[in-house]
Copies of this chain bind each other. A is one copy, B any other.
Amino acid sequence: MKIQTTSNGFDLVLDGRLILRHRSDAPCLFVGQGDARMHMYRGNFDIEDYVIERTPLAHAVVSGSVIAFSAAPGQPVRLTLQMSGDEHNGAIAFRADDAAINRLWVRIAAEQGEHVWGGGEQMSYFDMRGRRFPLWTSEPGVGRDKTTEITFKADVTGKSGGDYWNTNYPQPTYLSSRRYALHVETTSYSAFDFRRDDFHEIEVWAVPDRIELTARPTFIALVEVMSERFGRQPTLPEWVYGGAIIGLKDGANSFERLERIIAAGTKVSGVWCEDWVGLRHTSFGARLFWDWKANDDRYPALRQRIAELEDRGIRFLGYVNPYLAVDGSLFPEAEAAGYFATDESGKTALVDFGEFDCGVVDFTNPEAAAWFAERVIGQNMIDYGLSGWMADFGEYLPIDVKLANDVDAKVMHNAWPTLWAEVNARAVESRGRTGEILFFMRAGFTGVQKHCPLLWAGDQSVDFTRHDGLVTVISGALSSGLLGNAYHHSDIGGYTSLFGNVRTAELIMRWAEMGAFTPVMRTHEGNRPRDNLQIDQDPQVLAHFARMTRVYVHLVPYLKALVEEASTQGLPVQRPLFLHFEGDARTYAIQDAYLYGADLLVAPVSQAGRTEWSTYLPAGADWVHVWTNETFAGGSDVTVPVPFGQPPVFYRAGTRFAALFAGLRTL
Please give the residue numbers on chain A whose beta carbons come within 8 Å of chain B beta carbons, in ascending order: 30, 32, 51-56, 71-72, 74-75, 146-147, 149, 152, 155-156
Contacts and interface: CB of A to CB of B under 8 A. Distances in A.
Given A53-B54, A72-B75, 11 more contacts: A30-B52, A51-B54, A52-B56, A54-B54, A55-B55, A55-B56, A71-B71, A71-B72, A74-B74, A147-B156, A152-B152
11 contacts: A30-B52, A30-B53, A32-B54, A51-B54, A53-B54, A53-B55, A54-B54, A71-B75, A72-B75, A75-B75, A147-B156
Contacts of A147: 155-156
Nearest to A146: B155
Contacts of A54: 32, 51-55
A55 B54 CA distance: 6
Contacts of A72: 71, 75
Main secondary structure of the interface of A (DSSP, over half): mixed
A53 B51 contact: no
Contacts of A55: 53-56, 71
Nearest to A25: B100
A162 to B, nearest CB: 15
Contacts of A32: 54
Contacts of A52: 30, 54, 56
A52 B105 CA distance: 10
A484 B54 CA distance: 38
Nearest to A152: B152
Among all A-B residue pairs, the 4 with the closest Cβ atoms: A54-B54, A152-B152, A147-B156, A55-B55
A55 B72 CA distance: 12
Nearest to A71: B71
Nearest to A72: B75
A56 B75 CA distance: 14
A254 B86 CA distance: 84
A541 B54 CA distance: 60
Contacts of A146: 155
Nearest to A157: B147
A153 to B, nearest CB: 9
Contacts of A51: 51, 54
A393 to B, nearest CB: 27
Contacts of A30: 52-53
Best-surrounded residue of A56, A71, A152, A155 (most CB of chain B within 10 A): A152
A52 B55 CA distance: 8
A44 to B, nearest CB: 15
A132 to B, nearest CB: 10
Contacts of A53: 30, 54-56
Contacts of A155: 146-147
A30 B53 CA distance: 8
Nearest to A156: B147
A29 to B, nearest CB: 12
Nearest to A149: B152
A32 B105 CA distance: 15
A156 B53 CA distance: 35
Contacts of A71: 55, 71-72, 75
Contacts of A156: 147
A7 to B, nearest CB: 20
